[in-house]
Chain A
Amino acid sequence: MNTEYAVEMRGICKRFGGVHALKDVDLELRHGEIMGIVGDNGAGKSTLMKILSGAYLADEGEIYIFGKKVNIQNPQDSFNLGISMIYQDLALFNNLDVTKNIFVCREIVRGPFGIFLDKKSMYQKAENLIRDLRVDIQSPKLNVASMSGGQRQMVACARAIAFQSKILIMDEPTAALGVTEANKLLGLIRNLKDMGLSILLITQRIPDILAIADRVFVLKGGQRQDVLDVSLITLDDVVTMIVRGKAGNGKQISGVEYKSFG
């Protein structure tokens, strides 16, 4: 246990039937840093993050948030601890507008027992949020079904940070975006870091990580390989680690070039 860390996960194990998805994984996220989570498909990146967000329960292991041991049973527990996750498939509601998407399950309420929606405040807050994030969403009343992939990401971000989240998990945020939109989103993530959030970023695009992350956490076959300091490494180092695992314990694979990754 160490209060230097925003998130500390210890000895996390998770099995799905016979598949050992995570084996005794430790992770430490420092205050205000962006940490990339990388690994091949099936390495366990999303599973590890979903355990932190409460979407899955770990079979074994402990989680500390800001040095305090916590017990995350469901997404609401995680949210109450200041953790927000933006899912790969975005988890948006196509039948609702931007504002309503931001406020599902975190409504601003009024009236006796808080049974009524305070729509005016919700639209006002959504408008401010969109302005503060400087994203190009024309109106908080726009239906998300008609939006581009980038705009939908922005809505998911707005939703995640609207409620004083301290820890943000993003699952492949740039995967479905074009170059321009992806760059805009990376800019936004950097802004969020400046606002004091600690961010975990799952991605397959290693250049993204090199551009904005402080450290990179490498998973392979459900096991932690290493945590690398981004300022000291190159793209090739990361790719090699993803493919071969930690030097010495991975098998040598020869004759394959991985330079065009991402």
Chain B
Amino acid sequence: MVKINISGLRKYTVMFVLGILMVLFSFTSPYFLTFRNLTNIISQNTHFIIVAIGLSFVMIGGGIDLSVGYQMSLVGVVTAMLMVVYQFPAWIAVILGLIMGTILGLLNGLIVSSIKVFPLIATLATSIVFQGISYMVSKANTFRSYPDEFLFLTKGKILGMPFDVFLTLVLAILVSIVYSETVFGFRLMALGGNEEASRLSGINIRKMKITLYTLCGFFTAIGTMVMISKANTTNSSFGPGTEFIVLTAAIVGGISFMGGEGNIPALVTGVFILAVLGNGMQLAGWGTYAQFIVRGLILLGAVTFDEYQRKTRNSKQKRSVPEQLHVKES
């Protein structure tokens, strides 16, 4: 029997797809494959990568968080108001913003793990609540011009690269190690693979889920800081929409919609596939609206592929258990 490591194979598939896309777009526009454009693509997507890493915790664990967009909206306006309206020092505003994001994640975790509803619906509901709070807090105002210390997040340089790129790299490596080398990462894969078996093995499912959503909230808050620092402005409409971009990127990047699989290099590649598509289409003069259509189709395609892969895996297993003889006893 030939052993094929699906997730390993998929990691290289997505990198291959990214390569093809880049070659294609370099033909359509002479500006695409320039150093300046490529560094632009990277620095424009750091916050997406950070949020996608956060979401990957939840998704690998078999859940989903659709509220990351409005978490960003809420955390963004609160952090900005602390700096601009209330004149808090940047570092205090950032810490308070991160704490707030973590609490929003914790709330999601508590809700999903105690009321046993689909996380898709539960987080859609909290998303709407966060939206309401965000607009109530900001009164639909825009807050701009942040202190220099805060802008250092994206304008500052460390080791020759922008600080946010460095931060993203550090987070990606850190979480990559968490996934492949730690007990926590291992149990996370187990939870996503088979929740009931995890429970019977003695994993505390509830605690684990709460932790995952909390981590997602924390990473989303970090991503928010990078996003509003990059723009040097924010209002309640900054953030929403991110959930679908990172969700698509995650699924393209091989984080299974059903949980139990995923790795960070492929996830990051997934974000870049979307980014390169958007950038390349822009340079080719396709406009923003066409990008939405393409993005939607990609999400559909990626989910279909994911489902197909899961089915082949399960049918393989069914074939190998030929005689299911007895009726299950309750």
In the complex, A33 has a CB within 8 A of chain B = no
Task: Bin the interface of chain A by size.
Answer: 35 or more
Our pick among B1, B194, B327, B328 for the contact of A93 (Cβ within 8 Å) is: B194
CB <8 Å contact, B203 and A104: yes
Taking a contact as CB atoms under 8 Å apart, the answer to whether B183 and A93 are in contact is: no
A46 to B198, CA, bound (A): 19
CB-CB under 8 A from A116, the residues of chain B are 181-183
Decide: B322 and A93 in contact? CB cutoff 8 A. no
Closest A residue to B184 using CB positions: A115
Total interface residues in chain B, CB < 8 Å: 39
Bound together, the chains give a CA A45 to CA B326 distance in angstroms of 14
The stretch of A23-31, A63-71, A144-152 that contacts the partner chain: A144-152
Contact across chains for A91 and B196 when beta carbons are under 8 A apart? yes
Q: Is B51 an interface residue (CB 8 A)?
A: no
Instruction: Determine the chain B residues whose CB is within 8 A of the CB of A16 once the complex forms.
Output: 330
Contacts of B324 in A (CB 8 A): 175-176
Contact A149/B182 with A41-B327, A91-B196 known, Cβ cut-off 8 Å: no
Residues of A within 8 A of B189 (CB): 93, 95-96, 100
| A142 at the B interface (CB under 8 A) | yes
Q: Report which residue of B184, B197, B200 has the largest number of chain A beta carbons within 10 angstroms of its beta carbon.
A: B200
Q: Which B residue sits closest to A40, measured CB to CB?
A: B329
Q: CB of A105 within 8 A of chain B? A: yes
* B321 contact set on A, CB distance < 8 A: 148-149, 152, 176
Nearest B-chain residue to A85, judged by Cβ: B200
CA distance A190 to B324 in the complex (A): 24
Selected from B187, B196, B317, B325, the residue in CB contact (under 8 A) with A105 is B187
B interface footprint on A92-108 (CB within 8 Å = 1, 0 otherwise): 11111000100011110
Q: A165 an interface residue at 8 Å Cβ cutoff?
A: no
The 8 A CB mask of B291-330 against A (1 = contact, 0 = none) is: 0000000000000000000000110110011111111111
When chains A and B are docked, how far (Å) is the Cα of A62 from the Cα of B317? Answer: 40
Q: Which of A43, A105, A143, A176 contacts B323 (CB 8 A)?
A: A176
Contact at A105–B3, with CB atoms within 8 Å? no
Task: Say if the beta carbon of B223 comes within 8 Å of chain A.
Answer: no
A96 to B193, CA, bound (A): 8
Distance in angstroms between the alpha carbons of A152 and B317 in the assembled complex:
10
Say yes or no: is B157 at the interface (Cβ < 8 Å to chain A).
no
Contacts of B313 in A (CB 8 A): 94, 145
**When the two chains form their complex, are residues A146 and B320 in contact, meaning their CB atoms are under 8 A apart?**
yes
Is A74's CB within 8 Å of the partner chain B? yes
The answer on a CB contact under 8 Å between A176 and B325 is: yes
Which of A91, A141, A149, A177 makes the CB contact (< 8 A) with B201? A91
Q: Is the interface of A mostly helix, strand, loop or mixed?
A: loop
Shortest B312–chain A CB gap in Å is 10
Across the interface, do A117 and B199 meet the contact criterion of CB distance under 8 Å?
A: no
Residue contact A117 to B203, C-beta cutoff 8 Å: no
Determine the chain A residues whose CB is within 8 A of the CB of B197 once the complex forms: 91-93, 104
Minimal Cβ-Cβ distance residue in A for B183: A107
B43 nearest CB across to chain A (Å): 32
B200: chain A residues at CB < 8 Å are 53, 55, 75, 85, 87, 91
Bound together, the chains give a CA A177 to CA B330 distance in angstroms of: 20
How far does the alpha carbon of A94 sit from the alpha carbon of B324 in the complex, in Å?
A: 18
Residues of B within 8 A of A148 (CB): 320-321
* Option from A21, A53, A55, A117 in Cβ contact (under 8 Å) with B183: A117
| Cα distance A35–B314 in the bound complex, in angstroms | 34
Does residue A18 face the partner (Cβ distance < 8 Å to B)? no
- Bound complex: CA of A121 vs CA of B285, how far in Å? 56
B215 at the interface (CB under 8 A from A): no
Separation of A116 and B261 alpha carbons in the complex (Å): 19
Given A75-B200, A95-B193, A116-B181, A149–B329 Cβ distance below 8 Å? no
Known: A92-B197, A176-B325. 10 other contacts (CB 8 A): A89-B328, A92-B194, A96-B190, A104-B187, A106-B201, A115-B183, A116-B181, A119-B181, A143-B5, A172-B326
30 A-B residue contacts at CB 8 Å?
A: A16-B330, A41-B329, A42-B329, A55-B200, A75-B200, A76-B202, A88-B328, A92-B194, A93-B189, A93-B194, A93-B198, A95-B189, A95-B193, A95-B261, A104-B190, A104-B201, A105-B190, A105-B201, A107-B183, A115-B184, A117-B181, A117-B186, A142-B3, A143-B3, A143-B5, A146-B1, A146-B3, A146-B317, A149-B320, A204-B326
**A residues whose Cβ falls under 8 Å from a Cβ of B:** 16, 21, 41-43, 45-47, 53, 55, 74-76, 79, 85, 87-89, 91-96, 100, 104-107, 109, 114-117, 119, 141-143, 145-149, 152, 172, 175-178, 204
Rank and list the top 7 A-B pairs by shortest CB-CB distance, nearest first. A76-B202, A91-B197, A95-B193, A95-B260, A105-B201, A93-B193, A149-B321
